[in-house]
Chain A
Amino acid sequence: EAQVTQNPRYLITVTGKKLTVTCSQNMNHEYMSWYRQDPGLGLRQIYYSMNVEVTDKGDVPEGYKVSRKEKRNFPLILESPSPNQTSLYFCASSVMTGNTGELFFGEGSRLTVL
């Protein structure tokens, strides 16, 4: 089954404790992206990757890091989480690097930073 898998789905952590949210896709997509969803703000792009070893900042990259060592994986790293990073996070992938193709989303990771 074609899918984007995120882990963990739910996480409660404390300020400053490094964490990683993993994302994996099995569709051989070049393009992958991370979004955060907050009430009234829609989905805002954090980072994206056009292909292996190529990553770029989105609209809200501060406090986040990513890596793309393999085509299927695109982990999101919070080196020192803060309460304003409490949010619902989505990973997505697409076959079209021009970003005009269908985005396939994971089921989301709800993060709470105390």
Chain B
Amino acid sequence: GENVEQHPSTLSVQEGDSAVIKCTYSDSASNYFPWYKQELGKGPQLIIDIRSNVGEKKDQRIAVTLNKTAKHFSLHITETQPEDSAVYFCAPYQGGKLIFGQGTELSVKP
């Protein structure tokens, strides 16, 4: 089946600390792994994605790492800031569509 598990469901960090969110998927044929950020009252927005031919991708303070053998990929946010507070969704491409995880509510305390 097309199973996606995202952990943790909530995460609270101090400003300046790092945050890591993990997403586990079931389809070994998956080849596209995006992360979306949803700010309060808005729709989700793509922040970073990775394809299966690379293991890591970085864009300033955010990075995504992929472990295809273990079937999981993670979002890393370094030097967190209050504006990073949001709900984050992984959405691996499985079975011909994006399957969204349950979401992680990140709170960055100043």
Contact = CB atoms under 8 A, between A and B. Distances in A.
Contacts of B6: 42
A34 to B, nearest CB: 12
A103 B47 CA distance: 11
Interface residues of A, number: 20
A4 to B, nearest CB: 8
Interface stretch (A67-75, A77-85, A105-113): A105-113
A56 to B, nearest CB: 10
B41 A107 contact: yes
B43 A107 contact: yes
Contact of A102 (B42, B46, B93, B101): B46
A92 B43 contact: yes
A44 B46 contact: no
A99 B103 contact: no
A99 B95 CA distance: 11
Given A42-B101, A42-B103, A99 B93 contact: yes
A105 B98 contact: no
A54 to B, nearest CB: 14
A97 to B, nearest CB: 11
A100 B46 contact: no
B96 A99 contact: yes
A96 to B, nearest CB: 10
B25 interface: no
Nearest to A58: B97
14 contacts: A42-B100, A43-B91, A44-B100, A48-B97, A58-B97, A100-B31, A100-B32, A100-B93, A103-B36, A103-B98, A105-B44, A105-B45, A107-B42, A107-B43
